[in-house]
Amino acid sequence: MNHLLSSVTHPFFAKTLLEWYPRHRRDLPWRHTRDPYAIWLSEVILQQTRVKQGLPYYFTFINSYPTVQHLAAAPEDEVLRHWQGLGYYSRARNMHHTAQQVVREYDSQFPTSYAGLLQLRGVGQYTAAAIASFAFNEQVAVLDGNVFRVLARVFGLTQDIAAPANRKVFQQLADTLIPADQPAEFNQAIMEFGAIQCTPLKPDCLFCPLQSHCYAFQHGMVSELPVKSKAKAARTRFFHYLVLRHADTIYMRKRGPKDIWEGLYDFHLQETESGELAAVALVAAVEAVGGQLDLQQVEEPVQAMRHVLSHQKVEAKFHVVWLQEPLPASSLQSTGLAAFSSSEIEELPKPILIANYISNSIK
Ligand code: SF4
């Protein structure tokens, strides 16, 4: 469906947004800089969370690592620890690697064009467009969830925005709308408009400057646009954590690749097909890591927690096991477990599920 010429003229769209933007924009720290590093940091964080929740993370990163060289030189554990709570830890690792790539291959200078920025690890079309326009004023349109929504509604685009093949329809339209003389302001304006005026559930159509030209409003389709097919249902995984303790020692291990939470620390894990772990299986699991257990040593009750990720749900139970002896070195080697004091585990990067358990339950 194409209502582009019947609903609104292109110059009107940009002009309206550029008038609306200075009167409504939020004052955000990354809007006061043209430093591509700071802009890149803010964009990576904002892909994970909303502005309000992202602000403290932005300040943590920019204060801890004021330049790309600082970030590149930081230990990965520390970067992941600062990222803790944002989820999708692969993004933090990619961000760290990208910083190292910029230092190593680009003499610590970010590429200054959209095409050049796309060569960086973990930098996709959206982030490249954001940096190229905000830092270098390149005329390249950003497409994020806010932009998809505004374009779908104002121009009556009914293509499914969850289908990657439809991206080009929106990109072509956005590229015709972005003015050559104010690309940065236009990109900021359309994203901000989607974030605070044309919001997903309660857009402020009554006081909207695009109302008389908005296809969705004029045709009673605001709640139907954009069209977005549902993601597949998340699968449920059942995690049984053995919280192995001896005196002041707590055993944790760093998670490996090819699963969620790579590089973060958790406890010894038994994954099962259901939410239960039989007593005999618990005994066997402790013996398998070289510990001795009689069931009197297991604290009751075990604690159950549910943690929802975008593509899987984790239901976790924590079985605290007090060991009579420290784990032998051979089992530390085979399991990847390492001994920490309770103050040391505070500093480790951890999935938020584990961090919450520790803060509630480990004294
Ligand atoms: S009229 Fe409503 S749906 Fe249309 S652009 Fe404005 S806020 Fe969005």
Say yes or no: 252 and 190 in one domain.
Answer: no
Torsion sign, CA atoms 144, 150, 156, 162: positive
Nearest alpha carbon, ligand 1 atom 4? 214
C-alpha dist (Å) from residue 89 to 48, 95, 122: 10, 10, 12
Residue 209 has pLDDT above 50, yes or no: yes
218: CB partners within 8 A, 6+ apart: 7, 212
- Domain end among 197, 227, 262: 197
Cis status, amide bond into 111, omega within 30 of 0 = no
Nearest alpha carbon, ligand 1 atom 8? 198
Residue 238 has pLDDT above 60, yes or no: yes
- Mean pLDDT of all residues in the chain? 89
How is residue 361 written in tokens? 């339950």
**CA proximity to 355, closest of 285, 289, 264:** 264
Torsion sign, CA atoms 64, 70, 72, 74: negative
Ramachandran quadrant class, 209 (left: phi over 0; alpha: psi -120 to 50; beta: rest): alpha
**CA proximity to 186, closest of 196, 195, 174:** 174
Domain count, the chain: 2
Say yes or no: 36 and 138 in one domain.
Answer: yes
Query: For residue 297, what pLDDT band results from cuts at 50, 70 and 90?
Result: low
Atom of ligand 1 nearest to the CA of 214: 4
Which residues make beta-bridge pairs with 265?
254
- 315: domain range? 235-361
Atom of ligand 1 nearest to the CA of 197: 7
* Higher local confidence (pLDDT), 337 or 49: 337
Catalytic residue list: 43
Residues with CB under 6 A from ligand 1: 153-154, 197-198, 203-205, 208, 210-211, 214, 216-217, 222
Atom of ligand 1 nearest to the CA of 211: 1
* Domain harbouring 265, CATH code: 3.90.79.10
**CA proximity to 290, closest of 340, 251, 348, 241:** 251
- Mean pLDDT for 263-277 is 86
Q: Is residue 284 part of a domain?
A: yes
* Domain harbouring 130, CATH code: 1.10.340.30
Say yes or no: 186 and 315 in one domain.
Answer: no
Say yes or no: 247 and 315 in one domain.
Answer: yes
**CA proximity to 144, closest of 34, 226, 203:** 226
Say yes or no: 193 and 246 in one domain.
Answer: no
Say yes or no: 188 and 241 in one domain.
Answer: no
Residue 131 has phi, psi (to 5 degrees) of: -65, -45
Q: Is residue 132 part of a domain?
A: yes
Q: Is residue 167 part of a domain?
A: no
Say yes or no: 185 and 239 in one domain.
Answer: no
Residue 276 has pLDDT above 80, yes or no: no
Say yes or no: 188 and 292 in one domain.
Answer: no
Strand (E) or helix (H) holding 313: strand 312-322
State the pLDDT at residue 3: 47
Which residues make beta-bridge pairs with 114?
none
322 Cα: distance to centroid of ligand 1 (angstroms):
60
147 Cα: distance to centroid of ligand 1 (angstroms):
12
Top mutation candidate among 3, 13, 154, 202 for ligand 1, by most atoms within 8 Å of CB = 154
215 Cα: distance to centroid of ligand 1 (angstroms):
9
The Cα–Cα gap between 259 and 330 comes to: 25
Q: Is residue 160 part of a domain?
A: no
Say yes or no: 20 and 138 in one domain.
Answer: yes
Buried (b) or exposed (e) across 225-239, using 16+ Cβ within 10 A? bbeeeeeeeeeebbb
C-alpha dist (Å) from residue 189 to 185, 313, 346: 6, 36, 41
191 Cα: distance to centroid of ligand 1 (angstroms):
13
Q: At what angle do helices 183-196 and 125-136 cross, to 10 degrees?
A: 120
Residue percentage of the chain with pLDDT more than 90 = 60
Say yes or no: 131 and 193 in one domain.
Answer: yes
Say yes or no: 119 and 185 in one domain.
Answer: yes
Q: Is residue 37 part of a domain?
A: yes
The Cα–Cα gap between 84 and 81 comes to: 5
Q: Is residue 249 part of a domain?
A: yes
209 Cα: distance to centroid of ligand 1 (angstroms):
8
Instruction: Quick: pLDDT tens for 113-170.
Output: 999 999 998 899 999 999 999 999 999 999 999 999 999 999 999 999 988 889 999 9
Say yes or no: 182 and 273 in one domain.
Answer: no
Q: Is residue 153 part of a domain?
A: no
In this structure, are residues 233 and 316 in contact, taking their beta carbons and an 8 Å threshold?
Answer: no
Q: Is residue 322 part of a domain?
A: yes
